[in-house]
Chain A
Amino acid sequence: DTGVSQDPRHKITKRGQNVTFRCDPISEHNRLYWYRQTLGQGPEFLTYFQNEAQLEKSRLLSDRFSAERPKGSFSTLEIQRTEQGDSAMYLCASSSLFGTSEITEFFGPGTRLTVL
């Protein structure tokens, strides 16, 4: 396990369909984040898990979005009834926290979603 992996890497779907993305963090990383990145912009925070608990959720995450991390390992991000505005790169990151100020965050390669 050399890094964060995401599957699929690319997804093309039609408007109104549901899609699900998977993120496998680095082993033993207890923190997991989802971000969305559109062209020419920085990553926008979507949600954060510590182990299996979803501790933070952005207001950007509408009711159509849901994320889970059932066993504190891999995570899934589901988008229901996709809209063209959902087209973006979805990034997953994981990290572990040592002490009170040490954190190293590793990003996955992302899943590029295109909604037609």
Chain B
Amino acid sequence: AQKVTQAQTEISVVEKEDVTLDCVYETRDTTYYLFWYKQPPSGELVFLIRRNSFDEQNEISGRYSWNFQKSTSSFNFTITASQVVDSAVYFCALSFYNFNKFYFGSGTKLNVKP
């Protein structure tokens, strides 16, 4: 069975704090892809990152970083020095080699307060 779990329903932080959003996935496939999306209050999902199962290198993009660990089936997302504009719902998703179907987690709502 394929499944993505985001156990944190909602997180509130004060601006400039670091915050980590957790994502745990389940699959028996050896080739798969993991994604993070941002859904701001306006509603439109925005693609943030894609990672394939053969590349466990962590990635950093500005204030965003991602930690992929196959040993724990986790793909966590950290925002450093959070800003109010980071307030949104963040979704982790799983897909496979043909990208015919995506499995999304239930999302984590991040509130960044000034």
Contact = CB atoms under 8 A, between A and B. Distances in A.
Q: Chain A interface: which size bin?
A: 20 to 34
Nearest to A41: B106
30 contacts: A33-B102, A35-B104, A40-B106, A40-B107, A41-B106, A42-B6, A42-B105, A43-B91, A43-B102, A44-B104, A45-B102, A45-B103, A45-B104, A48-B100, A48-B101, A55-B100, A56-B100, A56-B101, A95-B99, A100-B97, A101-B33, A103-B50, A104-B47, A107-B37, A107-B46, A107-B47, A109-B43, A109-B44, A110-B43, A110-B44
Contacts of B6: 42
A23 interface: no
Nearest to A3: B44
B52 A101 contact: yes
A69 to B, nearest CB: 14
Majority SS of interface residues in chain A? strand
A116 interface: no
Contact of B44 (A48, A97, A105, A108): A108
Contact of B91 (A42, A48, A58, A95): A42
A41 B33 CA distance: 21
Given A101-B52, A104-B47, A104-B50, 12 more contacts: A33-B102, A40-B107, A42-B105, A42-B106, A43-B45, A45-B102, A45-B103, A55-B100, A93-B45, A100-B97, A105-B47, A107-B46
Interface in A10-41: 31, 33, 35, 40-41
